[in-house]
Amino acid sequence: MFNQNKIKSLLEKINWLSDSFEKNNYSNISSLEKSLLKEKVLMFFDEIENIPTSVFKPKDTEQTIAQQEEVKKEIVAPEIVKVEEVKEKPIVEKQAEPIKIEEPIVVEKKEVAVSVQTIETELSKQEKFEKTLKFQKEIAMPKRDIREIIDLNKSFILKAELFNQNNDLYNSFIQEINQTRTEDSANIVIKNWAANLNWKTEENKAFELLEKAVEKRFLPLI
């Protein structure tokens, strides 16, 4: 079963990333932004596959035919006027005036129906505007440097457990995380590093410590 809200959310993020690429003239695009757009597009196509296909049904014309039959029945046949001849006195026969038959006036009833689809479209536009505004605020919101969250002791643990005591790798990771503007993009960075360095993501305290630090970076500043 497809999720309409998820489809709307994915489409909004895809449109926002596309607009961002266009503003930069499709240059200076980071690999992180490319990966994020690719991921959202694939998720969008997966959701589209779950949308049910509608079946076309011909319009019912029985009611229209019944109305035409009723109109035919209402037409009154003209009356025939008989003129009797008077034998005693010659008379001048007068031609009977033609009887005017007034055609019945058929008043078409036009039903004013409120389109549910129109209302849903207006609501979806408002929801899209509000979500886009919220998404832009999240992106424009200043983010903390993750070094402020990971103290010296925690950095020793992360270097030992996840980066094999390699300061260059650790600093590259920190720099890439600081460049992310949303929590989703930061999670993609973590996922890529975990795959490249073969991190154990389950029952790994160092990995949990790293995830919590990244999550805390995107909390609102008080």
Q: What is the rounded CA–CA span in Å between residue 135 and residue 141?
A: 10
pLDDT at 188: 95
Percent of the chain with pLDDT over 70: 63
Lowest mean pLDDT: which of 88-92, 203-207, 214-218? 88-92
Question: Can you give the pTM of this predicted structure?
Answer: 0.39
pLDDT at 174: 94
Q: Which residue has the higher pLDDT, 148 or 113?
A: 148
Burial 153-189 (b: 16+ CB within 10 A, else e): eebeebbebbbeeeeebbeebbebbeebbbeebbebb
As given in the structure block, the two tokens for residue 180 are: 């992310």
pLDDT at 112: 43
pLDDT at 44: 81
Query: How large is the average pLDDT for residues 157-178?
Result: 94
Percent of the chain with pLDDT over 90: 29
Q: Which residue has the higher pLDDT, 21 or 95?
A: 21
Q: What is the rounded CA–CA span in Å between residue 139 and residue 128?
A: 16
Residue ranges of the domains in the chain?
A: 1-52+105-140, 142-222
Q: Encode pLDDT of 111-126 as tens digits.
A: 545 465 666 677 788 8
